[in-house]
């Protein structure tokens, strides 16, 4: 018996050419490069938003502790380069370390501006107004605290 591969009449057996393969690989590489760039920008934006919400949350937590008279003490927030600490006491350097609550900022986000905000017992007022600046490769976010303790961002 003789086995032969026969083509169906009218069909054409054609493979993929090298040019077609190079074009497909080039398109995939282009889409990958664009995706990586967009993802990096999205990640930086999200990290800045997460840091903003974390700092605002820490400020509101310290203010609520002070207003409620928790531990009969003022409460504050210290902004370090890459972290935020909610502390009990009138000054960060003389705080009660056992009450510290630390929040690490997302990678690439750095805090500037005010380094310490203290809220008075019962009133929740601060000693002065100022702002906290959070920066990363995406941009800058400002959190403003006035003397009455109002937080805007």
Question: What tokens were used for 59?
Answer: 């400020």
Per-residue pLDDT band at 30 (split at 50, 70, 90): very high
Place 4 in a pLDDT band, splitting at 50, 70 and 90: low
Lookup result for tokens 């107004």: 129
Instruction: Tell me the average pLDDT across 5-27.
Output: 79
Q: Which residue has the tokens 């009455």?
A: 148
> Averaged over 15-38, what is the pLDDT?
94
Is 63 part of any domain? yes
- Any idea what the CATH number is for the domain that residue 79 is in? 3.55.40.10
Q: Is the dihedral of CA 57, 63, 68, 70 positive or negative?
A: positive
Domain that holds residue 52: 18-152
Average pLDDT over the chain, rounded to an integer: 92
Is residue 116 one of the residues assigned to a domain?
yes
pLDDT in tens, 80-127: 989 999 999 999 999 999 999 999 999 999 999 999 999 999 999 998
Number of domains into which the chain is organized: 1
In the predicted model, is pLDDT for residue 10 greater than 60? no
Q: Is the pLDDT of residue 2 over 60?
A: yes
Query: Is the Cβ–Cβ distance between 80 and 36 less than 8 Å?
Result: no
**CA distance readout (Å), 23 to 37, 102, 134:** 21, 52, 44
What is residue 91's predicted lDDT score, i.e. its pLDDT?
96
Instruction: Kindly state whether residue 135 falls inside one of the protein's structural domains.
Output: yes
Q: According to the model, what pLDDT value does residue 14 have?
A: 72
6 located within any domain: no
Whether the per-residue pLDDT at 75 is higher than 90: the answer is yes
The pTM is what?
A: 0.81
pLDDT, residue 85, reads: 98
């Amino acid at each position: 018996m003789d086995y032969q591969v026969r083509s169906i009449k009218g069909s054409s057996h054609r493979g993929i050419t090298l040019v077609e393969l190079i074009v497909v690989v080039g398109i995939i590489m282009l889409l990958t490069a664009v995706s990586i760039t967009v993802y990096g920008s999205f990640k930086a934006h999200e990290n800045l938003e997460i840091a903003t919400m974390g700092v605002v949350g820490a400020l509101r937590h310290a203010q609520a502790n002070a207003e409620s008279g928790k531990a009969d003490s003022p409460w504050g927030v210290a902004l370090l380069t890459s972290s935020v600490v909610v502390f009990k006491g009138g000054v960060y350097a003389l705080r009660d370390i056992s009450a510290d609550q630390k929040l690490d900022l997302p990678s690439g986000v750095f805090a500037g501006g005010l380094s310490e905000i203290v809220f008075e017992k019962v009133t929740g007022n601060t000693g002065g107004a100022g702002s906290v600046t959070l920066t990363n490769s995406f941009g800058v976010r400002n959190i403003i605290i006035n003397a009455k303790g109002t937080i805007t961002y």
